[in-house]
Structures are given as C-alpha cells and as structure tokens.
C-alpha cells in the first residue's frame, strides 16, 4: 500500500512510468485501440476512462517542458476537430501540470506509427472513440525556463549544499563518517518491522 498515490496507478503502471525517461512517450489508448500491435509493453486499466487515467499518470509523471505540445491526441478520421473527451483529458493534464496544455492533433494512422515508438502502452477501458493520447515525459524538477511546478522548491533554494553545486552525503556515501546504512545501525537493530 502506498500513501498519496492515485489508486488507478497499478504496480505495473508505476513500474512502467518509472522506467521511462525524459522524452519517452507514454501511449494512453481507448478500448478500441489494438494495444499489442505496437510490440511494446502494455498495461491494462480496464474500467478506467481516459481522463482518469491521464490525471493519475500526470499526478506522478511530469510532461515535457522542452516541447510546445507534450500531449498528442488522435484526430477522428475526416474531421478537423478533436473529440469532446479530449477537452476532459486536456483539463486533467493542465491541472496536474499547473499550466495550460495544448494538444497536438494527430491523424489516426500517423498516431499508430508514432505509438510504435512509445515506451509504454496504457490500454484503458475508455468507451468513447478516438480517446487515444501520447504523453511525452519531462523531468522533475523541471529545468525549462520559468517552469518550476507549483509548490515545488526552486533547485538549490535554501540548501547550501545544493546551491554550491555539491551534493549532500547520504547513507552509504563514502562522504559519511561510518558508511553504514540506517538499517545496519545499532539504533534499529532490535526493532520489529
């Protein structure tokens, strides 16, 4: 059990998101999409709609600030506008990011081609058609100009060790006096876990 984690985030999904790095793409698709056709890892979120999946993913995964449109949305065939569900997805991503996210429309077959290079495919239970999205993962904390997320401290703010460029020593670091980890310390040796 984890605290402060959206229950939509399964262990497999958290693992896949953690493995993805800056610039990797996470595909979040509706129930009509063929998730295994891309040949990439698939995590199923049956019963979870697109906006809820995007909100949960964006609660732990930053979107890229180095590109203008870190969220791509599948555009319905023969239409110029995006489906109504995309409005909900954009609202969820924008709220999680603390900034306005503008979706990049992608034609259906171009979307299939782009999704093949995704790091992870998240197959939701979303019933509305064309509720398929590509999220480009960013970095935390954000290093783009003026992009520090709300509530996040500025890098190095108030910490002399980080503002000087030196990293603080932690357990197991050669810079600590004993080099021992807290689990091996005498203060917790007799405690039950």
Residues known to be catalytic:
22
d(CA 32, CA 131): 9
How many residues in the chain? 193
Alpha-carbon span 83 to 75, nearest angstrom: 7
Q: Is the dihedral of CA 94, 33, 122, 139 positive or negative?
A: negative
Structure tokens at 80: 């110029």
Residues 98/114, Cβ–Cβ less than 8 Å: no
Cα 128 to the chain's mean position, in Å? Answer: 22
């Amino acid at each position: 059990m984890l605290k402060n984690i959206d229950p939509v985030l399964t262990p497999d999904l958290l693992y896949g998101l953690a493995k993805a790095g800056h610039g990797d793409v996470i595909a979040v698709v509706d129930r009509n999409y063929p998730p295994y056709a891309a040949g990439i890892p698939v995590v199923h979120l049956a019963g979870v709609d697109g906006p809820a999946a995007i909100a949960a993913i964006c609660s732990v995964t930053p979107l890229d600030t180095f590109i203008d449109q870190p969220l791509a949305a599948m555009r319905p065939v023969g239409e110029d506008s995006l489906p109504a569900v995309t409005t909900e997805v954009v609202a969820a991503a924008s709220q999680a990011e603390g900034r306005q996210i503008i979706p990049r429309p992608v034609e259906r077959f171009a979307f299939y081609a782009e999704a093949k290079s995704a790091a992870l495919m998240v197959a939701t239970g979303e019933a509305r058609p064309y509720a398929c999205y590509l999220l480009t993962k960013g970095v935390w904390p954000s290093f783009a100009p003026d992009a520090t997320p709300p509530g996040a401290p500025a890098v190095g703010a108030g910490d002399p060790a980080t503002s000087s460029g030196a990293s603080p020593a932690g357990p197991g670091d050669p810079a600590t006096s004993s080099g021992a980890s807290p689990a091996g310390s005498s203060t917790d040796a007799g405690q039950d876990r």
